[in-house]
Amino acid sequence: MAAPSAPIPVALLGATGAVGQRFAQLLRDHPWFRLAEVVASPRSAGLPYGAALGRPESWWLDDEPDPLAAVGRAADLVLLDSTMHLESPLVFSALGASVAGPIESRLAANGHLVVSNARSHRMDPDVPIVVPEVNPQALELVHGQPSFARGRGAIVTNPNCTTAGLALALAPLREAFGLEAVYVFTMQALSGAGRAGLAPPRLANDLVPFIAGEEEKLLVETRKIFGDPQLAVGATCTRVPVVDGHTLVVSAKLAREVAKDDVVRAFTEFTGEPQRLGLPSAPVAPVHYHHEPDAPRPSRHRDLDRGMATHVGRLRPGMILDWNFVALTHNTRRGAAGGSILLAELAVERGLVGRG
């Protein structure tokens, strides 16, 4: 289908959190979507959105210090709580997993398409985890959701922010050569922990060698995205004192022997449905390959292509698995809010919005 004739009104759950703020920033000038409803906890309900964000302890986007400028006209919206009726056909969920599940299910049953950044429904068999360039066909899973079958709404999910970057980095290799095993060591940014990671005192001069549940999510989500329940995936996840940008050190075993030039070509030539469709949030190239010996780096590369690409470098033969490389992804843009918005654009193209 063509672009909507008028912007589609959308609602945002968890609007005052770190990922919710990133959603609002990215929706500010979106050509297809208009932020019409903002939802937060009962303690913030009734406040103008701009007033809630304007408190010094409430704003978390280091790259845009003025919250009113960041969210634009949405600053005048009055915050709702999650029990209130929503009018928008499309709902973005930046809720925490502890509360997201039943709220998202209720909204889908009431006719909304819910694009969720929470983990609550990711592993439901009829709920897709979608990286639009990697597995757009997974959107067909919504036909098995009871609410969708009744002509109502559905739930679709964005992967964990680390999984999103890993899937984009691995997809060119899997598509070109086949993929048998992967091991990843992560250095994850503070913003990946939300308020807990960004609130003072921030982590400094240290590294935390454990992130609860992260290694398990990388395993099960990567397998589901690639449709390969036997794919060997191992991970060690750490938190480092970088504000934005998850860096992954990846080792991959391919299904056949290939030359380095072929691997580089697979990265640079990889493209997907968002690029073919010209979706508004699609990066020019989903994977950028960097030849410099010290790339990719969060401070230099995370915001390139609007923060929507994965950046790969330091490709070299491995001593244990076939190839080693470093991948970097902006975790709150491509890995969270931006990835969810791109997924919603794909869902609009597939006719999944406004059915109920």
Instruction: Supply the CATH number for residue 252's domain.
Output: 3.30.360.10
Residue 246 maps to a domain: yes
Residue 185: burial class (beta carbons within 10 Å; 0-12, 13-18, 19+)? middle
Residue 3 lies inside a defined structural domain of this protein: no
Does some domain include residue 43?
yes
165 and 279 housed in the same domain = yes
Residue 117 near residue 340, CB atoms below 8 Å = yes
Residue 121 included in any domain:
yes
pLDDT in single tens digits along all 356 residues of the chain:
568 889 999 999 999 999 999 999 999 999 999 999 999 999 899 999 999 998 877 898 988 889 999 999 999 999 999 889 999 999 999 999 999 999 999 999 999 999 999 999 999 999 999 999 999 999 999 999 999 989 889 999 999 999 999 999 999 999 999 999 999 999 999 999 998 899 999 999 999 999 999 999 999 999 999 999 999 999 999 999 999 999 999 999 999 999 999 999 999 999 999 999 999 999 999 999 999 999 999 999 999 999 999 999 999 999 999 999 999 999 999 999 999 999 999 999 999 997 66
Instruction: Provide the domain limits for residue 20.
Output: 8-160+337-349
- Tokens for 108? 């889908």
Q: Which of 59, 75, 62 is nearest to 21 (CA)?
A: 59
- Please indicate, yes or no, if residue 355 is contained in any of the structural domains: no
- 217 with 229, same domain? yes
Nearest by Cα to 68 from 47, 54, 89, 84: 54
Is the Cβ–Cβ distance between 329 and 311 less than 8 Å? Answer: yes
pLDDT of 269 reads 99
Residue 354: per-residue pLDDT: 77
Verdict on whether the full-model pTM lies above 0.85:
yes
Q: Please name the amino acid found at residue 187.
A: M
Q: Does the residue 356 lie in any domain?
A: no
Q: Is 246 a catalytic residue?
A: yes
What element of type H or E holds 274? helix 273-277
What's the pLDDT score for residue 128? 99
Query: For residue 250, which phi and psi values (nearest 5 degrees)?
Result: -115, 135
Q: Is 311 assigned a catalytic role?
A: no
Same domain for 185 and 91?
no
Give yes or no: residues 184 and 39 share one domain: no
Name residue 156's amino acid.
V
If asked whether residues 215 and 252 sit together in one domain, one would say yes
The structural domain count of the chain equals 2
Q: Which of 301, 316, 159, 300 is nearest to 250 (CA)?
A: 316
Copy the structure tokens of residue 116.
């969720």
Residues 194, 308, single domain; the answer is yes
The active-site residue out of 112, 121, 237, 246 is 246
Among 161, 301, 311, 330, which one carries the catalytic annotation?
A: 161
Beta strand pairing call for 8-13 and 90-93: parallel
Q: Are residues 15 and 144 in the same domain?
A: yes
pLDDT score of 166:
99
Contacts of 353 (CB under 8 A, 6+ apart): 8, 89, 90, 113, 344, 347
pLDDT at 71: 96
Question: If you search the block for the tokens 């960097």, which residue do you land on?
Answer: 290
- Do the domain assignments include residue 119? yes
The CATH number given to whatever domain includes residue 132 is: 3.40.50.720
Q: Do 138 and 152 share a structural domain?
A: yes
